[in-house]
């Protein structure tokens, strides 16, 4: 049984049997709150928090305190691919928590040839790309260069070939 199916089955059984997990199973770490876009619906710029990247040693300290995890999500309000050590963080997670599914959400603009190459050389189970709408849709909400993001999604799908990972999910803000 695949890892994701097993995780979903365990979660379903816990819900049906009303049994809580003893430890958190999904960990989300916002590695940066910087972004290469300024979408009007995103609260990132209005939160009054200094814009910065998480220090790698801080990241390692956080990960060292996680005894196990089913999933680790490396995104929040920022664009994780702008972090200069993002892939070092993924490598550290893969080493420290080898059974965890590593995931992140991106606006897709940095999944150029080099970005895709780096994603494919690391064990990343899922990449979610956030866009304004389907290809060719006017990007008036805030995701400038949406067509670039869609081309990059195609590049990622082509790069992984018949490989199963990473799974690519699309999310869209509808306004």
In whole angstroms, give the CA distance from residue 84 to residue 32. Answer: 10
Q: Which residues share a beta bridge with 168?
A: 127
Q: Which residues share a beta bridge with 46?
A: none
Cα 72 to the center of its chain, rounded Å: 9
Q: CA dihedral in degrees (148, 151, 153, 156; nearest 10)? A: -120
Digit-coded pLDDT (tens) for 96-149: 999 999 999 999 999 999 999 999 999 999 999 998 877 777 666 666 678 889
Please report which helix (H) or strand (E) contains residue 25, including its range. Answer: none
Question: Could you write out the DSSP letters of every residue in 27-79?
Answer: EE---B---S---TT-GGGGS-----BPPHHHHHHHHHT----SEEE--SSS-
Digit-coded pLDDT (tens) for 56-97: 999 999 999 999 899 999 999 899 999 999 999 999 999 999
Digit-coded pLDDT (tens) for 17-60: 788 777 678 999 999 999 998 877 777 767 778 889 999 999 99
- Enter the tokens of residue 114: 């080099």
- The model's pTM is 0.85
- Among all chains, which residue has been given the structure tokens 């940095």? 110
């Amino acid at each position: 049984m695949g890892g994701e199916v097993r995780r979903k089955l365990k979660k379903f059984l816990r819900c049906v049997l009303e049994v809580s997990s003893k430890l958190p199973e999904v960990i989300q770490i916002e590695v940066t709150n910087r972004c290469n876009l300024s979408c009007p619906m995103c609260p990132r710029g209005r939160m009054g928090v200094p814009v910065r990247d998480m220090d790698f040693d801080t990241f390692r300290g956080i990960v060292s305190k996680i005894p196990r995890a089913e999933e680790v999500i490396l995104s929040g309000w920022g664009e994780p691919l702008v972090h200069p050590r993002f892939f070092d963080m993924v490598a550290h997670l893969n080493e420290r928590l080898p059974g965890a599914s590593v995931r992140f959400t991106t606006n897709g603009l940095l999944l150029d040839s080099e970005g895709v190459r780096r994603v494919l050389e690391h064990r990343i189970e899922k990449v979610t790309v956030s866009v304004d709408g389907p290809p060719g849709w006017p990007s008036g909400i805030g995701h400038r260069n949406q067509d670039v993001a869609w081309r990059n999604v195609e590049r990622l799908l082509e790069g992984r070939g018949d490989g199963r990972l990473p799974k690519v999910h699309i999310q869209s803000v509808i306004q």
